[in-house]
Amino acid sequence: MACAPLVLVTASCGLFDGADSADSKDASQERKSEVAVPEAFTREVMLFNKYGDNAAAQLELEAVEATDESTAVHLTLTNQGDTLTNLSFDNTKPILIDPVDGTAYPMMADRPLDSPARDFYGSHDDGDDVPFLKGVDNALRFYFPPLPDHVEYVTFLGFGAGVMTGVPVQRVDEHRPIPEPGVDGKKREPKPGETLDWPVREPDGDQHEFVLDAQGYVEGADSTLIREGDEETIALDADVLFAFDKAELTDEAADLLADAAASIETNGADAAGPIVITGHSDGVGDDAYNQKLSEKRAQAVREKLESLLDGGHDFDVSGKGSSEPIAEEGGKDDEEARKRNRRVELSYKVSSGRRGKEADASDDGAGIAAAERHVGLPASYRSDPGKPVAKKQDRDFDLAVYPLLRDGAHLVAEFEITNNGSGFRTPDLGDDPSLRRHTKKGGESLSGFRILQSDPELARYPLLMFYKDKYVPIAERSRAIGSGESFRLAMMFPAPSPETNEVTLDAGPFGEVSVPIT
C-alpha cells in the first residue's frame, strides 16, 4: 500500500455527534440507554510473570469508583493454577481510557511515569512476597487520577484481560474502607474460595497523576493531522504544493488547500486565535537557503488559504527550514524521510463549541479524509471476543485474530498468541521502536500492527500515549511464553467512519487479514 506522510491525530476530543456539550442531559440518557451493563465483568486471563512462571487466573472487575480526589478500580483475581510465590504485577499494569474524549489515565505513582524506580498506588505485596494461592480470590484495588464529571463509562486495558469496554463509573463521596490484609506471608493461608485482601498503599498527597491524550497515527496520501487537546495541525505535503526548489503553488495545490480549508472550517478553528502557517524543508542543502525557501512557501500558502477561508482569521507565518524534522534522515528509507520532512503546517485552536464533534456528514466529502472525526457511543462489554476470523502463523507461534470492536472514537483489537514450539520464547510481533521511543527490554509490542483502508487510502497506526516527548503505544507487549501457553493481547486504533464495516489488518510478520468491525 503506497501511503506517504504520517498523521498524528488524537483519537477524539469530546462529544457524541449531535450533542452540544460533554455533560448534555440528552447525550447522557442516550449513553445510558445504549450501553448494556452486564451482571459481572469477568475474563479468563494469563499473567506474565517476570520470575518465569506465568499464571492462569480469572479476573472480575467489580467497580470503578470515582471521588473528587482519585479513582479506585476494584478487582478480584482468582488463581486457576498452582500456587506461585513472587508474583509480580509489573508486567500487567492497567490503564483506564475514556473512549469518547480519547484520554488515557495510567495508575498514580510516587515518581514520574518514566522513572524506572516508580511504585504505584494500590495493592502490593508490602515486601512480604504475598503468595498467589491456588483457588483463592485475591481482592485488589488500584488508584488512578480523578475522572471528569462527564465521564460515565471507561475502557479498562491490562492484566492480560484484553480490553474491557463499557465499564460504568460510580460516583462516590469516599472510597470503600480498606480491610485488614488477609495474608502477609506469615499468617494463616485462606482456603480455596476464601478471599485474600492484599495490602493497599493509598494516595498520600505526594502522588503523581497522569492524564494523557490518546493519540494515533493515520497515514494519508498528501496530508497529515496532529490533534492534541484543543490544538490541531494539518501538515501538507510540500511535494504536492510546490515543484522542486520552487515557492510558487502548483495546479494540484489548489485542490489540496481547498480540502484543508474545508477541514479547518468543519473542525471549528477558533476565530479568536491565529492560524499559524509554518514551512519546513528537508536537510539537504544549505541551511540558510532552506530557511528562506520554507518562509516563501509558508507565505504562498497563507495567501491562497486566506482567499479560501471565511473572514475573521488572523495568520502567523514563519519558516523553520530543516530545524524541526519529523523523520530521521540518512537511514535506509532516506528519501521517504526527506519527503515527510518537506511540509507546510497549518496550526489552530478548536473552538470550545466544536471540539470533539464528528464531521458533519452533509459536507459531502469535503475536507481531508484523515482529519475527519469519527466519534460514537462507548461499546457495551463483550465477555468474549467471539470466534477468531483468522489464524495466522509465524514460525512456532499462532496468532488468532478476533473481530474488531468500535468503542467511542476507537477500534479495539484483540488477539491470542500461542507458542506451539518448545521452551519459553518471545514471539516476533513486528514491534515498531519508532512508536515506542524506548528499548525492547520490556518485550515485543503490537505497535507494528496497522489497519489499512483502500477508499480513501489510509493506514491507521496504534493509539499512543504522549508523555515528556516520548510515545508509549496503547498496544500490549508479549514476554516469554511457555510451550503450549496462550496469551491474550490487545491494542487500540483511531476509528474509521461508521460506514466502514471491514478493514485489512497488517499483522506484521503474520501477514495481512481482512477483519470485520462489530
Count of structural domains, the chain: 2
Asked if 164 and 258 sit in the same domain, the reply is no
Residues near 199 by beta carbon (within 8 Å), at least 6 away in sequence? 123, 124, 125, 126, 130, 181, 184
Under a CB-based contact definition with an 8 Å cutoff, are residues 280 and 237 in contact?
no
* Mean of all residue pLDDT scores within the chain: 82
Residues 342 and 394 in one domain: no
Cβ–Cβ < 8 Å for 444, 433: no
**Nearest Cα to Cα of residue 225 among 458, 409, 7, 464:** 7
CATH number, domain containing residue 259: 3.30.1330.60
Domain of 256, in residue numbers: 230-354
Is 194 found in the same domain as 57?
A: yes
Do the domain assignments include residue 158?
Answer: yes
Question: What's the rounded mean pLDDT across residues 29-46?
Answer: 78
Question: 363 in a domain, yes or no?
Answer: no
| Cell representation of residue 123 | 495493592
Q: What is the pLDDT of residues 309-344, one digit of tens each?
A: 987 789 999 999 999 887 778 877 788 889 989 999
Are 78 and 150 in the same domain?
yes
What is the pLDDT confidence band of residue 434, given thresholds at 50, 70 and 90?
low
201 shares its domain with 247: no
Provide the grid cell at 283. Answer: 536537510
* pLDDT tens by residue, 417-429: 999 998 888 888 8
Q: Based on the domain organization, do 420 and 491 belong to the same domain?
A: yes
Q: Distance between CA 372 and CA 411 in Å, rounded?
A: 15
Each residue of 369-424: pLDDT tens digit? 766 768 889 999 998 898 999 999 999 999 999 999 999 989 999 999 999 998 88
418 found inside a domain? yes
Task: State mean pLDDT over 229-243.
Answer: 87
Q: Among 87, 78, 82, 33, which Cα is nearest to 57's? A: 78
> What's the whole-model pTM score?
0.81
| Residues 246 and 342 occupy one common structural domain | yes
Residues 505 and 390 in one domain: yes
